[in-house]
Amino acid sequence: MRIAVAKEIEVCERRVALIPDTVARLVKQGLEVWVETGAGERSFFSDSDYQGAGATIISDTAKLWGETDILLKVSPPQEREDGRSEIDLLKEGAVLVSFLNPLANPVVAQQLANRKVTALSMEMIPRTTRAQSMDALSSQASLAGYKAVLIAAAALPKYFPMLTTAAGTIAPAKVFIMGAGVAGLQAIATARRLGAVVEAFDIRPAVKEEVQSLGAKFVEVKLEEETVAAGGYAKEISEASKQRTQEVVAEHVKNSDVVITTAQVPGRQAPRLVTEEMVAQMKPGSVIVDLAAEQGGNCACTEPGKDIVWNGVTIIGPINLPSSMPIHASQLYAKNVTSLMQLLIKDKALQVDFSDDIVDAACVTHAGEIRNQRVRDALQALNTQQSAVN
């Protein structure tokens, strides 16, 4: 059984799928591990580190992709500079484990199915107790929530904590976190450690106790509909509920020094939580950090990948924040992937058991077919949309 770690080619991707420590564990179990030359460079893991852990360093990309049984990546496969698709480099019947973003980009799933690749998407790991060690979305979201607060603190022209000095007393910054999932809860904890007064909002009332346990005030909006989707994630709500939500949170946005938004819906445009009118009412010098920038942004003024100033308010739309902390991001992701490997490999042989709920949920393509109904629906919707345009 040969496992290979590919070098990421996406410009902003600094993470690596396995770190030397996890490679050593797999090698100890009798598995052969190949690592592409320079795969860990941007995560500060050298080729010699991997060799010391028992890996074989491969400089030939085509050989690495084409002769492995299981290929591990971080970001979805894409076109290379030489015009070749990474998917076409995989041998038929190989296994690919990576973030695939299949609901937003179902074409990749179709290409993988055409190649007869068994593809497991790290986004599709179910949010269950048994799958916690494999939950890469959560491990990476925690990093994003932490870094978002540091970015906000650096951009804010104020202190975060209250300070009493000979020159007078400085009031603490007011931070408003929108969305209390993993990223939001980490943002709350980090902002509190820095001394800010923190409020948090989420459409799911069940998270109230978690928010309060971290020392933040929970802003509650009573909605007459279900707000929790499968797996505990926030569900997309009706336009009427969105309007009601905006009315309640508007005053909190207005009075905050920092607003951090984290609300995302897999495969869909990010919900609009902060309108231009809300931004216009914020104090000059205030900061918004929008963690949903890649999905269009929770803030109407967000520009993905850019820092802008709108009406005196700094709006930051970071992309791939976990990659900005590649050492620990790679460490956590490698643990997630390795835990999944333990489930897939028994007695040095690959066993894709669809009776296992984790494997069944995570496996997007197998034996030439797209297995996941939501991905099939997304592909059909995309094809219908393109046909209408043509």
Give me the catalytic one of 85, 233, 246, 374: 233
Query: In the prediction, which pLDDT does 244 show?
Result: 77
Give me the catalytic one of 43, 138, 139, 264: 138
Q: What phi-psi label fits residue 156: left (phi over 0), alpha (psi between -120 and 50 degrees) or beta? A: beta
Give me the catalytic one of 132, 213, 238, 351: 132
**Does position 294 have pLDDT exceeding 60, yes or no?**
yes
Residue 311 CA neighbour count, 13 Å, CB half:
13
Please write the tens of the pLDDT for every residue from 307-316. Answer: 999 999 999 9
Is 212 designated active site? no
pLDDT band at 232 (very low <50, low <70, confident <90, very high): low
Sheet holding 32-36, edge to edge: 56-58, 32-36, 2-5, 70-72, 95-98, 118-121, 363-366, 369-370
Mean pLDDT of 334-362: 95
Sign of the alpha-carbon torsion through 141, 145, 147, 148: positive
Give me the catalytic one of 42, 69, 85, 127: 127
Q: What is the percent of the chain where pLDDT is above 70?
A: 95
Is 387 designated active site? no
Q: Answer yes or no: are the C-beta atoms of 290 and 310 closer than 8 Å.
A: no
Please write the tens of the pLDDT for every residue from 39-57. Answer: 999 999 999 999 999 999 9
Mean pLDDT of 309-331: 97
Is 186 designated active site? no
**Does position 245 have pLDDT exceeding 90, yes or no?**
no
- Which residues contact residue 370 at a Cβ distance below 8 angstroms, ignoring those fewer than 6 apart? 106, 109, 110, 113, 364, 376, 379
| Cα diameter, the chain | 72
Helix (H) or strand (E) holding 199: strand 197-201
Q: What is the pTM of this model?
A: 0.93
At CB < 8 A and 24+ separation, what contacts does 350-356 make? 350/1, 350/69, 350/70, 350/95, 352/95, 352/118
Is 127 designated active site? yes
Give me the catalytic one of 135, 202, 257, 290: 135
| Stretch among 13-17, 209-213, 347-351 having the lowest mean pLDDT | 347-351
Is 233 designated active site? yes
